[in-house]
Structure 1
Amino acid sequence: MTLKLKIWLGGALLSVTAMAFSPSVWAHAHLKSQIPAADSIVETAPDTLMLTFSENIEPAFSGVEIVDDARQSLSVSNTSVMPETRNQMNVTLTKPLASGRYQVNWHVLSVDGHKLKGSYRFAVK
């Protein structure tokens, strides 16, 4: 093996190793925080839910479904992604939530092209 080939192979191996262990290569839009918080009990029913992700998301391919304890899907009047940050989704409810437990099912397409989904619960007192 020639010296030139050894140097090229060493550089290629180093590059692949660096990319494999780089956090940005493996990063996806994970849910960082939410309002109301997961597993919380709120005194007053929210009129808007706010979900913040670890990276920017594609608004056209991201959304939220809110389900009550009877597994009925609740209507939302608007779901928007904040243009300033593109990592925060605001969900405006059509009508106030009654007392009870709710599950928020979310799905997003992160700007790196990966689809992710998840859910969390909260309750209204």
Structure 2
Amino acid sequence: MSKLSHVFVIAAILSAGMAGEAFAHAHLKSATPAENAVVTPSFAELDLTFSEGLDIKFSGATITQEDKSAVATDKARLAAGDNKTLMIPVPAPLQAGAYTVDWHVLSIDGHKTKGSYMFTVKP
């Protein structure tokens, strides 16, 4: 293979790698409360941090109890100066039990992702 062929192969590999990063989906990196965490009923906010910036208009989360009833939350917002952390205020203390968080986000590059996890509130 000639030097020119090597250059083209390397350029193609680098381009493919960079394109993959440009079109990455927003993946959940961390959550508070965390997956499978045991927490006190007094936490005031669900924080979900993603790998990519989010479009708040099309991003959100719900919290449901074991009986599938929804927990009342305030309007979702992004953390100040950080478009990767989705904040969901929880205005009232939660009762003891298991809870499921279902989240859906639209990254600023236009990709939708969703997921869920559970945590428990101790008495």
Scaled by the length of structure 1, the TM-score of the pair is: 0.82
**2:16 counterpart of 1:20:** yes
Partner residue, 1:56: 53
Q: Does 1:40 align with 2:7?
A: no
Q: Provide closer, same or farther for how the CA distance between residues 12 and 83 of structure 1 changes in structure 2, counting only shifts above 3 A.
A: farther
Of 51, 67, 88, which residue of structure 2 is paired with 1:70? Answer: 67
Distance in 2 separating the partners of 1:11 and 1:116: 36
Aligned partners of 1:119 and 1:46: how far apart in 2?
19
User: Which residue of structure 2 lines up, in the alignment, with residue 117 of structure 1?
Assistant: 114
Q: Please, what is the CA RMSD of the aligned residues?
A: 2.3
Query: Greater CA radius of gyration, 1 or 2?
Result: 1
Question: What amino acid sits opposite 1:24 in the alignment?
Answer: E
Checking the alignment, whether the CA contact within 8 Å between 1:45 and 1:124 is kept in structure 2 is no
Instruction: Give the structure 1 partner of residue 27 of structure 2.
Output: 30
Unmatched segments (≥5 aa) in structure 2: none
Gaps of 5+ in 1: 1-8
- Using the TM superposition, give the Cα deviation of residue 19 of structure 1 relative to its aligned residue in structure 2, in angstroms: 2.9
Runs of 4+, deviation exceeding 3 Å? 9-17
**62-71 vs 81-90, which moves further:** 81-90
Name the one with the larger strand percent: 1
